[in-house]
Chains A and B, each alone.
Chain A
Amino acid sequence: MSGEPRGSSGCWGTIGVSGDGSCERLAELVHCRNCQVFSEGGRVLFEREPPPGYFSEWTAALALAKPEEPAGTLAVTVFRVGNEWLALEVASVTRAGDAHPVRRVPHRSGDVLLGVVNVDGELVLCASLAALLGVPPLAGAAPDAPPPGRFLAVSLSGERWVFPVDEIDGVHRLETARISPLPATLSEARARHASGLAHTGGHAVTLLDPLRLGAGLRQRGGIA
């Protein structure tokens, strides 16, 4: 969804980003959404008569007790590696972005440690979560297929790592009370790095433990 109001009646529709882009302020502001004129145009949207039933609906809603926010939620970034949905608390995730080329490290790169990646001018170790957790590659994918399209940069107790991931579903809020313990049937590699299971966004998600994941990466990546 684009942020532009429909019916570009303002200057943004003629000389701005929805028009021919000839506005001289665009050079400095880059996009109309950074412009004062555009934000004021948006506010005009509220200067209209409310739809029928609006007052009655809000009168009833305001008379009720305020809905309680569920206490104890954990915000996690949910992403997919292979066919496995994983989650890491947002405090550990520093960045999600498009793939960068991975440079192999001679005599060090292996299954888990893929190499180093340039993230904002800093070299960060790149590791394969699929290899660390024993996630089988998706059926049909060639063994030497190019790395998946997205990267997740994380900071695990101060150490930065980058993981190639297949899909990032965004940030979800998990109710801590509904995070279930790991089942005994989970593979040892996954159980060692996870702290629980949860259901969110229609997926069963394995919640990774930042401390154990960091330790596992150091050990299996051959950095320790």
Chain B
Amino acid sequence: MLFVLFRAGPTRYALAASSVVEVVPLVRLEPLPGAPASVRGLFSYRGTPVPAVDVSVLTGAGPAPDRMSTRIVIVSWAEDDGTARLAGLIATSVTETVDRSADDPPPSGLALPSAPWIASAFIVGGEVVPCVRVEAFLPAEVRALVDQSAGGRA
């Protein structure tokens, strides 16, 4: 299984490549009033308004810097009721992928109530890399606001 590695603050995180739609450069974001600090704003992704979540803010490292290496990882997932969702994750150093075969030691499961978006962790090159769960990044109130399904409330 292929994982995309990125950084948020000093820590490296992994994201299952199967949930990644596209990695695009940082774009201008329209701030969303009243949204949590981690939701930096909305942007138009191929004509659809998509929220951008700054993973660095979620980890407490402060907003990601405006650099060439800071990119938006467009991720998709399906809600429990089958609705397809899109979100943009603002992440830094999105330059590497890692392929984990079935022979590698299995990731250890994690369940942190304060950080539900961390699903597990594994070791890449001697470094502990938490693996994220994309569907848990967006707070529920933002998810309800941006309904990308056809005929949704957006």
Residues of A within 8 A of B24 (CB): 58, 62
Contact, CB under 8 Å: A47 / B69: yes
Distance in angstroms between the alpha carbons of A87 and B75 in the assembled complex: 40
Contact, CB under 8 Å: A58 / B26: yes
Residues of A within 8 A of B28 (CB): 55-56, 59
For chain B, give the interface size range. 10 to 19
Assess whether B27 is interfacial by the CB under 8 Å rule. Answer: yes
Assess whether B107 is interfacial by the CB under 8 Å rule. Answer: no
Q: Residue of A at shortest CB range from B45?
A: A62
Contact, CB under 8 Å: B68 / A48: yes
Residues of B within 8 A of A (CB): 24-28, 43-47, 66-69, 93, 95
Residues of A within 8 A of B45 (CB): 62-63
A10-53, CB < 8 A from B: 43, 45-50
Contact, CB under 8 Å: A49 / B66: yes
Residues of A within 8 A of B68 (CB): 45-50, 54
Contact, CB under 8 Å: A54 / B47: no
Distance in angstroms between the alpha carbons of A46 and B25 in the assembled complex: 11
A52-71 vs B, Cβ < 8 Å mask (1 yes, 0 no): 00111011001111100000
Residues of B within 8 A of A63 (CB): 43-47
Distance in angstroms between the alpha carbons of A63 and B44 in the assembled complex: 5
